[in-house]
């Protein structure tokens, strides 16, 4: 199941799995605190084995175009999971004053 959530009105649950699907360079420049870099080109069935089947995966990108594609790709691999697309991505998070980090 794919859900959409505006990143500016979202509070991450404790221990949330957050995947930033941009390339490593864009991720290193700035990313949401706690997000792990999982470039869309590298997503596959093995990526999902790292996350408990009952845990939602929160997906974001820079502005909101790659995250929905990544969620659709992942749903095609395992449709029994919950994927949450964080709309607006890193740009919206920055504009809303959410904490961002730099580096890999």
CA–CA separation, 56 and 32 (whole Å):
17
CATH architecture assignment, domain 2-101: 3-Layer(aba) Sandwich (3.40)
What is the structure's pLDDT at 29?
95
| 71 or 11, higher pLDDT | 71
What is the structure's pLDDT at 12?
80
Q: What is the pLDDT of residues 66-99, one digit of tens each?
A: 999 999 999 999 999 999 999 999 999 999 888 8
What is the structure's pLDDT at 7?
87
What is the structure's pLDDT at 8?
84
Domain ranges of the chain: 2-101
Percent of the chain surpassing pLDDT 70: 100
Average pLDDT along the chain: 93
What is the structure's pLDDT at 64?
77
Cα torsion through 98, 86, 101, 15, rounded to 10: 100
Which sign, positive or negative, has the C-alpha torsion 44, 50, 51, 57?
A: negative
CA separation, residue 41 to residues 20, 59, 87, 88 (Å): 12, 14, 20, 20
What is the structure's pLDDT at 70?
97
pTM of the complete model: 0.93
């Amino acid at each position: 199941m794919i859900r959409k959530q505006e990143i500016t009105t979202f509070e991450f649950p404790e221990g949330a799995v957050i995947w930033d699907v941009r390339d490593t360079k864009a991720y290193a420049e700035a990313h949401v605190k706690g997000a792990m870099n999982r470039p869309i080109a590298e997503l596959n069935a093995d990526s999902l084995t790292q996350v408990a089947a009952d845990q939602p995966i929160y997906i974001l990108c820079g502005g909101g175009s790659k995250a929905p594609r990544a969620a659709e790709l992942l749903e095609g691999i395992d449709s029994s999971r919950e994927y949450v697309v964080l709309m607006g991505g890193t740009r919206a998070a920055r504009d809303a004053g959410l904490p961002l980090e730099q580096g890999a």
